[in-house]
Amino acid sequence: MGKDVMRLEPESVIPILKPRLIMTLGNLIERGSDRAEFLKLCKRVEYTIRAWYLLQFEDLMQLYSLFDPVNGARKLEQQNLSEEEIDVLEQNFMMYFFEVMNKSNFKLANNEEVEVAHSGQYLLNLPITVDESKLDKTLLKRYFANNPHEDLPDFSDKYIIFRRGIGIDRTTDYFFMEKVDMIIGRFWAWLLRVTRVHQIISRKRSECHQINPKKTDEVNTEAEPEDHFVERIRIQNLDLSTRNLLNKITIQEPTFDRMIVVYRKASSKPKKERGIFVKHFRNIPMADMEIVLPEKKNPSLTPMDWAQFLISAIIGLVTLVSSLERPKADVWVIIALLSGLIGYCGKIYFTFQQRMATYQNLITKSMYDKQLDSGRGTLLHLCDDVIQQEVKEVTISFFILMEQGKATRDDLDRRCEDLIVEEFGEKCNFDVDDAVHKLEKLGIVTRDSIGRYHCVGLKRANEIIGTTTEELVLKAKQDIISA
């Protein structure tokens, strides 16, 4: 069977812990005095950036306290605000929230990404849909009307999904029922080819592709050099062999490292629902991303299952009646027909029950293992994440200019990405524009007449930023302890 390979674009997020990044770069500095100045500069950069965002984050948290699904309604009543004033406040919250998501390098999942994610199966083999009647359709629709975004998904008026980072999930098991399904599916495909029914289906599919040529064009687009590829190892693509069918196998699926889902429930009472749900998940397999969807409907047998069930039952009953009408009906043939019919129907039922058990297990794991936080906890995590990313961008870009000298924007971008690969073995699409903007705002990097960036010396950089409030507090604590 051919390999199922996915092309993934590198993320802008720097996937390295800040303490490891700073200590590694510090150890690359030969002179001890310069190393001490560099570590001091890193602390002052973090304290300063944290102060820049403090007021914005406080406004974000204050606004969310009014739309917290748990206590927000009570606080809104205490404010005694009109509906129009509340509408303005909730749109302000959404604006702050999207700014934080952008700074954290989260991206909105679009239709193409969702379709690619759904094009395969991993552990979840049931069709999961959202009960749209339980979701509000005004909050997000109003926000996107005032703040247009490109390539919005079809469900963006009801809920939105942010994603960041790519990983790999592997599961090893026997997968007996899934292997049986694979064998039956291949037999079914062979039967369609023999009866030439697949030609009718293929003709219809080709007509559908002519309606949407954009998708075909996108699939044929050549990959960029910096893109990387991840293989999907699925049961459906296994080679039929005794070893694969009887032994444990390992399947593999790319994951979204972080996913955040935002939605509001529909109002079921005369009083308008104002709570905004923000849920944070980790390591969600792309093919199983349905587990993060809000207000999921209980899954049931698929139309294909019902079609196979009914067709098999009709064929079995017709064959059984034909056998009984014969003058010399063979009892063993009748028993075999009944056994086969009952066995196949039982297989459909028990397969569905097993899929339901797997679905319930995945939902439970998503709640306890994969859901990091929700509401206020998620926002606090995002605020800290913004600061961590900003500090890492500034640290890497300043280090490169300090060690390698002047650089144009493109040279600095390339050097930073090369450093991350060489020292940490990680790839990312370094956001050089954001990094140099902060460096210039700090006053420790300037541009010459031909547009090259260059930094001031380490000691001078510390003098420009100056002693921070956090340093004064720490010094006061040390004085108290030593007194």
pLDDT in tens, 388-420: 999 999 999 999 999 999 999 999 999 999 999
Question: Which one-letter amino acid corresponds to residue 243?
Answer: R
Among 4-8, 154-158, 252-256, 331-335, name the one with the lowest average pLDDT.
331-335
Neighbours of 212 (CB within 10 A): 9
Question: What are the residues whose beta carbons fall under 8 Å from the beta carbon of 276, sequence distance 6 or more?
Answer: 64, 67, 68, 69, 90, 93, 139, 262, 263, 264
List the one residue out of 94, 140, 398 whose CA is nearest residue 265.
Answer: 140
On the question of pLDDT at 225 being above 60, the answer is no
pLDDT band at 219 (very low <50, low <70, confident <90, very high): very low
For residues 226-251, give the mean pLDDT: 78
Terminal-residue alpha carbon distance, the chain: 75
Question: Which one-letter amino acid corresponds to residue 433?
Answer: D
Say what the pLDDT of residue 268 is. 76
Say what the pLDDT of residue 204 is. 44
CA distance 39 to 47: 13
List the one residue out of 276, 331, 316, 344 whose CA is nearest residue 140.
Answer: 276
On the question of pLDDT at 331 being above 80, the answer is no
Say what the pLDDT of residue 297 is. 78
**Cβ–Cβ < 8 Å for 96, 56:** yes
Q: What are residue 173's DSSP bridge partners?
A: 249
For residues 450-474, give the mean pLDDT: 93
Write down the pTM of the prediction: 0.78
Say what the pLDDT of residue 341 is. 61
On the question of pLDDT at 264 being above 90, the answer is yes
Q: Please give the structure tokens belonging to residue 70.
A: 């748990």
291: DSSP letter: G
Q: Look at residue 296 and give its three-state secondary structure.
A: strand
Among 46-60, 90-104, 183-197, name the one with the lowest average pLDDT.
183-197
On the question of pLDDT at 196 being above 80, the answer is no
Say what the pLDDT of residue 300 is. 57
Radius of gyration of the CA atoms of the chain, in A: 29
Say what the pLDDT of residue 247 is. 87
On the question of pLDDT at 307 being above 80, the answer is no
pLDDT above 90 coverage of the chain, percent: 43
**Cβ–Cβ < 8 Å for 275, 69:** yes
pLDDT tens for 281-294 read 988 888 888 888 89
Average per-residue pLDDT in the chain? 81
For residues 65-87, give the mean pLDDT: 91
pLDDT tens for 101-116 read 999 889 999 888 788 7
Ranges of each domain in the chain: 13-45+380-473, 105-198+227-297, 298-373
pLDDT band at 220 (very low <50, low <70, confident <90, very high): very low
Which has the higher per-residue pLDDT, 361 or 376?
376
Among 272-286, 357-371, 430-444, name the one with the lowest average pLDDT.
357-371
**Cβ–Cβ < 8 Å for 289, 117:** yes
Residue 253 phi/psi, 5° resolution?
-145, 135
On the question of pLDDT at 213 being above 70, the answer is no
- Going from the C-alpha of 321 to that of each of 106, 336, 346, the distances in angstroms are 62, 14, 21
Among 12-21, 88-97, 266-275, name the one with the lowest average pLDDT.
266-275
For residues 181-210, give the mean pLDDT: 58
Which has the higher per-residue pLDDT, 136 or 216?
136
pLDDT band at 175 (very low <50, low <70, confident <90, very high): confident
